[in-house]
Amino acid sequence: LGALANSRTELRSLGRSRQEHLEWLRQLLDPRSELERRFLELLAEGGYRLPDEAQKALAEPRCVADFFYDPNICIFCDGAVHDDPAQAAQDRQLRSQLLGHGYRVIALRYDQDLREQLARYPEVFGQGN
């Protein structure tokens, strides 16, 4: 009974085990984004809920979310390039449009602790280990 009480049930994603799903997500990462890689590894190592998709193309408004949780949560990993005023203005406009279309938007910043950022959204990422 002790082993059962301390066991963990893991959901399968699209018929894949957690490890298979993680490997699939790793293949989809933007190779230029260290923040995306760090985010995904933190989720995996910390026992957090993995995204359903990576590099999710949305039709309206037209964009690509770095990660996506069904049914409507867009995750953006904002590196230093997003500090540029022009890029920041584009981000605000796009994310406002996403909100208007019923999406929830979470922007993760390169200059803030990732664990603290995850802790702000336990309903999305879970509690971790």
The range of the structural domain enclosing residue 120 comes to: 11-125
Residue 64 lies in a domain: yes
Q: Judge whether 99 and 106 are in contact, CB under 8 Å.
A: no
Q: How many CA atoms lie within 13 A of 124 on its CB side?
A: 21
Where b means 16+ CB within 10 Å and e means fewer, 62-76 reads ebebbbbbeeebbbb
Could you read off the pLDDT of 36-72 as tens digits, one per residue? 999 999 999 999 999 999 999 999 999 999 999 999 9
If one counts the domains in the chain, the total is: 1
Task: Say what percent of the chain tops pLDDT 70.
Answer: 89
Residue 43 lies in a domain: yes
Q: Is 125 helix (H, G, I), strand (E, B) or coil?
A: helix
Residue 5 lies in a domain: no
Residue 2 lies in a domain: no
Residue 105 pLDDT exceeds 70: yes
Spatial separation of the C-alpha atoms in residues 35 and 111, rounded to whole Å: 10
- 13 vs 118, residue with greater confidence: 118
